[in-house]
Amino acid sequence: MSKISIMSEDLSNKIAAGEVVEKTMNVVKELVENSIDAKASMIKVELKDSGVLEIKVTDDGIGMDRDDAVLCFSRHATSKLHNINDLFNIASLGFRGEALPSIASVSNVTLKTSNGTVGTLVKINGGKQESVENCDIRCGTIITVSNLFYNTPVRLKYLKSLYAELANITDYLNKMALSYPNIKFILINNEKELLNTDGSGNLLKVINSIYGLSVTKKMLEIDAKTDDFHIMGYTSYPEVNRSSRNNITLLVNNRVIKNYEIIKTIHECYHTFMAQDKYPITVLNIKADPFLIDVNVHPTKMDVKFSKIEDLKELITNTFTKKLKETLLIQEGFVNTDFVEEKIEKEEIKEEYFKPKLEEVTLNFEVHDDNKVYLESGVKEENKVHFDEREELIPVHEVTIKPIKPIGACHGTYIIGENEDGIYIIDQHAAAERINYEKCYKAILSHSKNIMDLLVPITIELPSNEYMILKEHFDILDKLGFVYEEFGINTIVIRSHPVWLPSYALEEAIRKIIDIIITEEDFSELKFSDRISMTMACKMSIKGNDAITLADMEYLLNNLVRTDNPYTCPHGRPTIISYTKYDLEKMFKRALD
């Protein structure tokens, strides 16, 4: 008896669904792309429970007749490819004919469509056609996908949280709106509107809908072309940046793609303009002859191969570099004086608001007579965190360093000190980083509620997809000690903050913490606290070439030797190098052996 047999259509569709449909975003992606290929000018996506319960996509495209409405659920049925030559000249978003049958095999699907002549209603349950009926002749298509993965419970089990699924969908639709500014996109989840573009064709209006006005005002227009490529779009000023490359949106002939070579090229254009771990907000549409690209390299069609990638990278480099060099990039300061005056009138005026700001560097430590180093100045005695109260969280070195007396500084960066054992060279920034790192680390892990109210609240506005991720992790902001509230759409207002944040770079520090929360994958308490502490320690610490007095040097060294690990900064760089008295005698030939 033969062992080899042809799989049933139902089984092959379920296998194909494993490649095409992994999460709710994949379903939305395939349906929206079909609507775009149908020449829709309006696409409305309505979700229930982030699409797990129901996904409904409505468009005003050309629709289908009865025969096409039934045939579209057959595998490899497509209107976009007719012969092998068409494979080398793909102008549509979809073309394989696998999406609809794959989706229908793992859900319940209702298709309502009309080409303006006849209306058709098709119902599919788990890949099996249940009915085909007549319906109204509104031109366009409405497709509803419900109970996704109801017959493949393993895949349903491994869907991420509702917030994560919604963030993926929002991120995708944001990118599609940027790709097609002439199409009106509407996204609704559980009757709450998350995205609504006007479809006017103005890309800056779409950027404003997604990122907000503050980002839109800091965008540079990109437009350049060669014989093979035409690039157009917008990129942000260096001061407007993010910690994730996800905000670099790449489009090829309006198709959203991922290409790390191009992302790296854009990032390198900002070298010396922004930190290496920062990325600009960029929307770049690459127009090219379809013969120069291959989109048929991955089931998701997100990966694209270019036949002249070096020419494209050179065009991007020259264009971005020229645009940055010819633009005045001085950052502008802004203070809403009306708001400040109103707050001062309503609140009690405190004396510290009128104290003169010190020009010299002030070290953020406090030493008391009981020889314990307190990490939170201005805190009640019973709530202070002591270095002596060791927790097995930071690596503790048992060998202690004898007190070091500073005798001078070298190049404004290195402190020269001595004690009875020899001389020491201390990197003042690395030393301050170590002290501030342990301060923040222990304060975070102690869940200290010592907070400071803000005279002027800080408003943080985020794209919808990033805000969904942040909202899922509001408990982290609570643990860190922030007092905040949701304000409008995709915006939170910070009203109080933990005392260990650097006051002179407060908004930058808060935004960095939010970036970490959004991009972090491992939310274990120790690793998350470590990453935030390292970031804050760097911002809070004195830098190289910061001139400090001899008294400040002594203050710094007294605190350094009391830390749990005075030998390295949080990044692993050495804080201190020593030369023993014997080493000096050998170098000066006083000891001969």
Question: Which two three-digit tokens encode residue 77?
Answer: 């049925």
The per-residue pLDDT string of the chain (593 residues; one tens digit each, 9 = 90 and over) reads 555 656 565 555 555 544 557 788 888 988 998 898 888 999 999 999 988 899 999 999 988 888 888 887 776 555 544 444 544 444 446 445 577 888 888 889 999 998 888 889 988 887 788 888 888 878 899 999 998 887 777 667 777 788 888 999 999 999 999 999 999 999 999 999 999 998 999 999 999 999 988 899 889 999 999 988 999 999 998 888 888 888 999 998 888 888 888 999 999 888 767 777 889 999 999 988 877 777 655 555 566 777 888 999 999 999 998 888 777 665 544 334 343 334 333 333 333 332 333 333 344 443 333 333 333 333 333 333 333 333 334 444 444 677 889 999 888 889 999 888 888 898 999 889 889 888 888 888 887 778 889 888 999 999 988 998 998 889 888 888 899 999 888 899 999 998 888 877 788 888 888 988 888 776 777 778 888 888 888 877 888 888 888 888 998 988 888 887 787 788 778 888 888 888 788 878 887 66
With helix as H, strand as E and coil as C, how does 186-246 read?
EEEECCEEEEECCCCCCHHHHHHHHHCHHHHCCEEEEEEECCCEEEEEEEECCCCEECCHH
What DSSP state is assigned to residue 355? S
For residue 387, the SS3 value is coil
Which fold, 9-202?
A: Heat Shock Protein 90 (3.30.565)
Indicate whether this model's pTM tops 0.85: no
Residue 166: which H helix or E strand, with range?
helix 162-179
Q: Are strands 248-252 and 255-257 parallel, antiparallel or unpaired?
A: antiparallel
List, in sequence order, the alpha helices (H) in 347-473.
428-445, 464-472
Range(s) within the chain of domains with CATH label 3.30.565.10: 9-202
Range(s) within the chain of domains with CATH label 3.30.230.10: 212-325
Which fold, 212-325?
A: Ribosomal Protein S5; domain 2 (3.30.230)
Yes or no: domain 364-579 corresponds to CATH 3.30.1370.100: yes
Q: Are strands 279-280 and 241-242 parallel, antiparallel or unpaired?
A: antiparallel
Range(s) within the chain of domains with CATH label 3.30.1370.100: 364-579
Helices 24-37, 162-179: crossing angle, 10 deg rounding: 20
Q: Ramachandran region of residue 27, left (φ > 0), alpha (ψ -120 to 50) or beta?
A: alpha
